[in-house]
Amino acid sequence: MNAPVIDLSERIARADVVGAERSLVRATPYVWRDPETIPEREWLYGRTLLRGSLSLLVAPGASGKTALTVGMALALVSGRDLLGQRIWKGPSRVWLWNLEDSADEMDRLIQAGCKYWGLTVDDLEGRLFRDSALSGAGLILADKVSGVRIPERDAFTAELAAKRIDVTILDPLVSAHRLPENDNGKIDELAKSLAVVAEQTHSSILVVHHTAKLRGTEAGAESARGASALVNAARSVVAINRMSSDEASRFGVDGETRRRFIRVYDDEDNRSPPADASDWLMLESVLLNNGASGGEGDSLPVLVPWSPPDAFDGVTVGDLRRVQGVIASGTWAKNSGSATWAGHAVAQAMRLDADDVAAKARIKSLLGQWIANGALRVETMKSKETNYRVTPVVVVGEATCRPRREARTPCGDLKLGRNTSILHFVAYQSITNGALAAAESDMRLLTQAAIEKRTLQQCIDFRMLSA
**Mean pLDDT score across all residues of the chain:** 81
- Around Cβ 152, how many Cβ atoms within 10 Å? 16
Q: Which domains does the chain have, with CATH numbers?
A: 43-305 (3.40.50.300), 309-467 (no CATH)
For 392-434, write each residue's pLDDT tens digit. 999 998 655 443 333 333 333 333 333 333 333 333 333 333 3
Band the pLDDT of 214: cuts 50, 70, 90.
confident
Q: Are 252 and 243 in contact (CB under 8 A)?
A: no
The rounded distance, in Å, linking the Cα atoms of 269 and 239 is 11
**Which residue pairs, CB below 8 angstroms and at least 24 apart, start in 385-391?**
385/331, 385/340, 386/331, 386/333, 391/333, 391/335
- The pLDDT of 125-136, averaged and rounded, is 94
Q: Are 175 and 216 in contact (CB under 8 A)?
A: no
Q: Write the DSSP symbol of residue 128.
A: E
Residue with the larger pLDDT of the pair 1 and 447: 1
Q: Are strands 279-287 and 299-305 parallel, antiparallel or unpaired?
A: antiparallel
Q: Write the DSSP symbol of residue 287.
A: E
pTM over 0.75: no
Q: What is the pLDDT of residue 253?
A: 85
Residue 134, pLDDT > 80, answer: yes
Q: Are 190 and 177 in contact (CB under 8 A)?
A: yes
- The pLDDT of 377-382, averaged and rounded, is 86
Q: In Å, what is the CA distance from 431 to each residue of 405, 416, 437, 442?
A: 14, 19, 7, 20
- The pLDDT of 349-377, averaged and rounded, is 90
Q: What is the pLDDT of residue 3?
A: 57
Q: What is the pLDDT of residue 386?
A: 58
Q: What is the pLDDT of residue 217?
A: 81
Band the pLDDT of 20: cuts 50, 70, 90.
low
Band the pLDDT of 464: cuts 50, 70, 90.
very low
Give the three-class secondary structure for 443: helix
- The pLDDT of 157-181, averaged and rounded, is 96
The rounded distance, in Å, linking the Cα atoms of 367 and 349 is 13
Q: What is the pLDDT of residue 22?
A: 58
The rounded distance, in Å, linking the Cα atoms of 194 and 72 is 20
Residue 185, pLDDT > 90, answer: yes
Q: What is the pLDDT of residue 431?
A: 31
- The pLDDT of 138-148, averaged and rounded, is 92
For 30-68, write each residue's pLDDT tens digit. 999 999 999 999 999 999 999 999 999 999 888 899 999
Identify any residues that bridge with 394 across adjacent strands, giving them in sequence order: 332, 378
Q: What is the pLDDT of residue 19?
A: 53
- The pLDDT of 16-41, averaged and rounded, is 81
